[in-house]
Amino acid sequence: MIRIPALRFGKQYTSLDKAVLVHHVTGDPVAEVSQVTGSQISRDLGQMDAARALLSEIPIADILAMYKKAADYFVNATLPCGDTELDFEGYVRNLSATTGSPMVFCRRNALKVHYVLGNIEEVIGGLTRGLDHEALDKGYTTHGGRMQAFFPTTNVFGAVLPSNSPGVHSLWVPTIAFKMPLLLKPGREEPWTPYRVLQAFIKAGIPPQVLGFLPTDHSGSADILRLCGRSMAFGDDRSMAPYRNDHRVEIHGTGYSKILFGEDKADAWEQHLDMMVESIAANGGRACVNASAVWTPKHGDAIAHGISKRFATMSPRPWDHPDCEISGFAKPEVAEAINNMIDEQLKTPGARDITQEVRGTPRLVKEGRIAYLLPTVIRCDSPEHPLANKEFLFPYASVIECPQDDMLSRIGYSLAASVLTEDAGFVANAMACSHIERLNIGPLPTNRLTWDQPHEGNLFTHLYKQRALSQARFAGSGARS
Instruction: Tell me the C-alpha distance between 116 and 111, whole Å.
Output: 9
Give the contacts of 107 (CB within 8 A, at least 6 positions apart). 92
> What is the side-by-side strand order in the sheet with 2-4?
2-4, 29-34, 18-22
Angle between helical axes of 103-118 and 120-127 (0-180°, round to 10): 80
Mean pLDDT of 87-110: 95
Q: Say whether both 355 and 229 belong to one domain.
A: no
Q: Which of 253, 284, 300 is the last residue of a domain?
A: 253
Contact by Cβ (8 Å): 293, 259: yes
Instruction: Tell me the C-alpha distance between 468 and 393, whole Å.
Output: 45
Mean pLDDT of 38-54: 97
Q: Which helix (H) or strand (E) holds 294?
A: strand 291-296
pLDDT in tens, 209-236: 999 999 999 999 999 999 999 999 998 8
Q: Say whether both 178 and 269 belong to one domain.
A: no
Q: Which of 253, 280, 310 is the last residue of a domain?
A: 253
Instruction: Tell me the C-alpha distance between 274 and 267, whole Å.
Output: 16
Least confident span in 80-84, 94-98, 167-171, 362-366: 167-171
DSSP-based three-state secondary structure for 151:
strand
pLDDT in tens, 352-378: 999 999 999 999 999 888 999 999 999
Q: What is the pLDDT of residue 477?
A: 63
Q: What is the pLDDT of residue 455?
A: 61
Q: Which among 378, 392, 427 is positioned nearest to 407, based on CA atoms?
A: 427
Q: Say whether both 264 and 248 belong to one domain.
A: no
Going by the DSSP 8-state scheme, the letter that residue 33 receives in this structure is E
Given the DSSP bridges, would you call strands 376-380 and 351-353 parallel, antiparallel or unpaired?
A: antiparallel
The enclosing domain of 54 has a CATH number of: 3.40.605.10
Q: Which domain holds residue 122?
A: 2-253
Q: Which helix (H) or strand (E) holds 455?
A: none
Q: What is the pLDDT of residue 144?
A: 77
Evaluate whether residue 475 is within a structural domain. Answer: no
